[in-house]
Amino acid sequence: MRHPNNREDKKVRVLFVCLGNICRSPAAEGIMKQLVEDNELQDFIEVESAGTSGWHEGDLPDERMRAHGAKRDYDFNSRARQLRKSDLDRFDYIIVMDNSNYTNVKSLASTKEQLDKIYMMTDFSQLYRHDQVPDPYYGGASGFELVLDLLEDATEGLLQAIKEKHTFTY
């Protein structure tokens, strides 16, 4: 496998980020992990999620998001954690859900290399034309379904982008 920094034998690390790490980013993590497994790339790609706030540290994802994900055969079971400055060095792709998250994560970056790792989730959208993934927390069921639609689409695009940029040798 080729790593962006041309170091051999290092996984490509992807971190999804939203505000509380209980709705959007753990859903993106779960969907991406399923895609990685379906493509037999789990030896090459590592996926995690975090929030810009620590309000829900240690919590499971929101039960409504878990229920909507389960209807699509996803198991969203990661524990919430807050984004750390060290994550900007540790991860190769830092994927944020909305403009506020983007601004917050960018403010932690201290190098061009760190800045260049930060993307909007919707940068990888293929079918949808949303400019950000809306927070479903205060809405109803349709908001959670929209988020899952957007994430399924964008994670497919992200995996495609990773596969185009990196060579995985089995």
Structural domain boundaries enclosing 78? 12-165
pLDDT at residue 8 is higher than 50: no
pLDDT at residue 170 is higher than 90: no
Domain assignment of residue 54, yes or no: yes
Per cent of the chain over pLDDT 90 is 91
Choosing from 23, 24, 66, 153, which is the catalytic residue?
24
How far, in Å, CA of 160 to CA of 113, rounded?
Answer: 22
pLDDT at residue 4 is higher than 90: no
User: pLDDT (tens digit, 9 = 90+) per residue, 117-140?
Assistant: 999 999 999 999 999 999 999 989
> Which pLDDT band holds residue 149 (cuts at 50, 70, 90)?
very high
> Which pLDDT band holds residue 1 (cuts at 50, 70, 90)?
very low
How far, in Å, CA of 88 to CA of 107, rounded?
Answer: 11
Per cent of the chain over pLDDT 70 is 94
Domain assignment of residue 1, yes or no: no
Choosing from 87, 98, 135, 153, which is the catalytic residue?
135
Domain assignment of residue 4, yes or no: no
Domain assignment of residue 91, yes or no: yes
Number of compact structural domains in the chain: 1
Domain assignment of residue 29, yes or no: yes
How far, in Å, CA of 86 to CA of 101, rounded?
Answer: 17
- pLDDT, residue 168, reads 84
Q: What distances in angstroms separate CA 100 from CA 5, 11, 97, 104, one per listed residue?
A: 29, 28, 8, 6
Catalytic residue status for 24: yes
Average pLDDT of the chain is 93
Domain assignment of residue 127, yes or no: yes
* Mean pLDDT score, 91-98: 98
pLDDT at residue 6 is higher than 80: no
pLDDT at residue 3 is higher than 80: no
- pLDDT, residue 9, reads 53
- pLDDT, residue 167, reads 86
pLDDT at residue 30 is higher than 70: yes
Domain assignment of residue 7, yes or no: no
Domain assignment of residue 5, yes or no: no
* CATH number of the domain where residue 48 is located: 3.40.50.2300
Q: CA 125, 94, 72: angle at the middle one, nearest 5?
A: 50
Question: Taking the mean position of all CA atoms in its chain, how far away is CA 125?
Answer: 13
